[in-house]
Amino acid sequence: MTPTVDMSSNTATATTTDYKPKNAAFRVGLGDITPNNLGQLKRLNTVLFPVVYTATFYKEVLEVGEFAKIIYFNDVCVGAVCCRKENVAGSTSMQNLYIATLGVLAPYRRLGLGSKMLEHILENAELPASTGPRIGKVYLHVQANNEEALEFYKKHGFAVAEKCEKYYPQFEVSDAFRLEKVMVAEN
């Protein structure tokens, strides 16, 4: 039986999931990021990432629609994904999608929540655009020593496109891998 989602917040839209651990009843929902819950996203990002995001980042998050979501576990905000669309040089029919953040609080990892958020992003990236450019590829950067993240993205069809030396100059391990998944081949 698919668990039902009962999101009481009037600012969040919810979807259901078929994932259910053995002997556990829970509700999982993806909610829109709105000005009313932007503070929750900021708090999550402070806990999840060693980077301070700017006011411009949060302003852009409010403008990408389905490409920025908060995930709720039993009505508790436990993770989020934030992307940005980028124009492709020389193309008016194609954009790329950059995953700036995707994270789940440690106690809620290994429950399929990160996969649910990433699958939502990829499903929406595959949809033909009703207006404007299509998404040609989805990409992101992962710190070179983050084996868990590398395996997670590879499991979802991403491939290493390049190694970026000193991508994170503020960290001890400064190298990163750029991972990408092609959604639509360029003409």
pLDDT along the chain (187 residues), means of 10: 32 39 75 96 95 94 96 96 94 92 96 97 88 90 95 97 94 95 79
CB atoms within 10 A of CB 17: 21
pLDDT at 5: 33
CA distance linking residue 131 with residue 41, whole number of Å: 28
pLDDT at 186: 61
How far is residue 69 from each of residues 40, 73, 74, 143, 167, measured CA to CA in Å? 11, 13, 16, 23, 26
pLDDT at 107: 95
Residue 156 known to be catalytic: no
Residue 98 known to be catalytic: yes
**pTM across the whole model:** 0.84
pLDDT at 50: 87
Active-site position among 141, 156, 167, 168: 141
pLDDT at 24: 63
Active-site position among 72, 98, 139, 153: 98
Domain covering 28-182, topology: Aminopeptidase (3.40.630)
CA distance linking residue 181 with residue 82, whole number of Å: 17
